[in-house]
Amino acid sequence: MAGDSADIVRLDGAEKHFGAVRALDGVDFHVGAGECVGLVGHNGAGKSTLMHMVAGTLVPDSGQIAVRGGIEHNYSVPRAQQLGIRCVFQELSLCPNLSVAENTRINHPALRGLGWRRKAADLIAAKLDEIFPDHSISASDIAGDLSIGRRQTVEVARAFTVTQDPLELVILDEPTSSLDAHTAGQLLAFVRRFVAAGGSCILISHVLGEVLQNADRIVVMRDGKVVAADAAKAFDRDRLVTTMGGAEAREKIAAEIAKREAGPLRVRARPARQEDGKQLVANAGEIIGLAGLAGHGQTDLLLAIFAAASRAKAGIEVTAPVALVAGDRQADGIFPQWSIAENIGIRSLARLRNGLLISPQREAELAEFWRGKIGIRTPDLNNNIFSLSGGNQQKTLFARALGSDAKIVLMDDPMRGVDIGTKLEVYDLVREEARNGRTFLWYTTETEELDNCDHIYVFKNGRIVANLRRDELTEEKIIQSSFGDAA
């Protein structure tokens, strides 16, 4: 349907190598005007590399890029901006020390001179109002003070602000990974309005339902190549997963969870703001889900339980060692200067000790075991943790927790921005560990993940508002309790 001139962006035969790794292997890709292209694939399939090229942050080793039919020889970020191509990157790219308005200024060289602060503040506030009507963010808020979800809304809104340059194409790389269902819905509705009005959009998401429902066309990538590209209608969930090469697992989960003996009590906790008698109870071998809108006290409770494991705390009873898998892995999870093996071993130092020192050999053994078990893809565990892709970094954090002596594993929305293949592998592992008697407390913003849980507690305003068994669980019920009248 698209002639060359109707294409906003067209890449032909794009290749990119990073050392020995072939990140992109001759990719042809185009986006038409007024089109929303869904881009799916495992972490490391080359999606991000491709998007960096479209945004101008990476230059292809070979191949060419054309914008609106004209071939670009010196393509760069400023050039892409002139041409109206914007990108919301997966890693949050706000400056935490600057206010929301000042962060807007960074993307708009035109915002200067007298009164630029007022202009920037009005610009971002108007866009936030348009996309997320009940956002409650002020342009003078410092970005670092905002929750991760709110930072993401600011970043998305910023990408859609317009000053002197046109706005043709917005790349959204995992835009909903830190948003709750309500806010994500607002964003996707806006994207559809934007596309209907003639804008173009590339939507990358690991939540396949989002892509299926919102994209006009879906491009599937695998191992640096485009393996399928077709109208969204031609795909369904199963075909997408098969094309991506993911394992198929969903149905068997429910059957498996069916019946388990309740083991001894592991955790009993009442949130600090709880006023009635409701409390969270977790027994050995159970997977407990913490649901509800993002930032309604789930993380606080997990951290309180974590603290209670080492120091007695009123209202919380913990009977076994605890490990935490952090959600914001860059900020709270990994040790950036350390190797993969050191990052895995840090929770188990007592066991890795040889006399007064840490035995490098035992550390390597532990890491090697978990590399095999959880599938961390690296040539050498002594490489720096940053040599891994995001999904593999997250696996490292799981290996750290699961490799420890902890009987209780707290998970703080750990699957944010992780591809579906990795997710399914980790889900399997979590269930296997639960069968062996471990207890998991799992906060997640993705309703699908709750399918893995035996028991779900829904949170609202720092309180438990509902307590659902696996067989009672439906998305409607969760949404109902999350938004229900202040009960």
Interacting residues toward another protein by CB under 8 A: 55, 57, 76-78, 81, 87, 89, 91, 93-98, 102-103, 105-107, 109, 111-113, 116-117, 134-136, 138, 141-142, 145-147, 150, 182, 293, 295-296, 460-461, 482-486
* CA nearest neighbour of 450 among 421, 406, 422, 411: 411
Q: Decide whether 23 or 87 has the Cβ nearer to another protein.
A: 87
Q: Decide whether 1 or 487 has the Cβ nearer to another protein.
A: 487
Q: Decide whether 170 or 376 has the Cβ nearer to another protein.
A: 170
Q: Judge contact between 308 and 356, C-beta under 8 A.
A: no
- Six-digit token string for 58: 């990476």
Q: Is 49 exposed, middle or buried (0-12, 13-18, 19+ CB in 10 A)?
A: buried
The alpha-helical segments, DSSP class H, found in 337-389 are 340-345, 349-352, 360-374
| Cα distances (Å, whole numbers) of residue 470 to 50, 254, 257, 467 | 40, 9, 8, 10
CA separation for the pair 70, 88 (Å, rounded): 24
Q: Decide whether 137 or 323 has the Cβ nearer to another protein.
A: 137
Q: In angstroms, what is the minimal distance from the CB of 179 to another protein?
A: 13
Q: Decide whether 380 or 485 has the Cβ nearer to another protein.
A: 485
Q: In angstroms, what is the minimal distance from the CB of 98 to another protein?
A: 6
Q: In angstroms, what is the minimal distance from the CB of 79 to another protein?
A: 9
3-state secondary structure of 438: coil
Q: In angstroms, what is the minimal distance from the CB of 133 to another protein?
A: 9
Q: In angstroms, what is the minimal distance from the CB of 112 to another protein?
A: 4
Q: Decide whether 91 or 432 has the Cβ nearer to another protein.
A: 91
3-state secondary structure of 110: coil
Q: In angstroms, what is the minimal distance from the CB of 278 to another protein?
A: 18
- Six-digit token string for 28: 């042809």
Q: In angstroms, what is the minimal distance from the CB of 261 to another protein?
A: 38
3-state secondary structure of 184: helix
Hunting for tokens 């050999």 — which residue is that?
361
Q: In angstroms, what is the minimal distance from the CB of 145 to another protein?
A: 4
Q: Decide whether 144 or 198 has the Cβ nearer to another protein.
A: 144
Query: Do strands 357-358 and 353-354 pair parallel, antiparallel, or not at all (unpaired)?
Result: antiparallel
Q: In angstroms, what is the minimal distance from the CB of 458 to another protein?
A: 13
Sign of torsion over alpha carbons 120, 124, 130, 134: negative
DSSP character at residue 452: G
Q: In angstroms, what is the minimal distance from the CB of 108 to another protein?
A: 9
Q: Decide whether 105 or 371 has the Cβ nearer to another protein.
A: 105
Q: Count other Cβ atoms within 10 Å, centred on residue 196.
A: 10
CA separation for the pair 288, 442 (Å, rounded): 6
3-state secondary structure of 35: coil
Measured in whole angstroms, the distance separating CA 159 from the mean position of its chain's CA atoms is 19
CA separation for the pair 484, 465 (Å, rounded): 9
Q: Decide whether 147 or 354 has the Cβ nearer to another protein.
A: 147
CA separation for the pair 299, 443 (Å, rounded): 7
Q: In angstroms, what is the minimal distance from the CB of 82 to another protein?
A: 10
Q: In angstroms, what is the minimal distance from the CB of 13 to another protein?
A: 25
| Cα distances (Å, whole numbers) of residue 56 to 44, 66, 159, 168 | 19, 12, 15, 15
Q: Decide whether 98 or 272 has the Cβ nearer to another protein.
A: 98
Dihedral in degrees, nearest 10, Cα atoms 427, 430, 436, 441 = -130
| Half-sphere exposure at residue 131, Cβ-oriented, CA atoms within 13 angstroms | 25
Q: Decide whether 105 or 217 has the Cβ nearer to another protein.
A: 105
Q: Decide whether 96 or 198 has the Cβ nearer to another protein.
A: 96
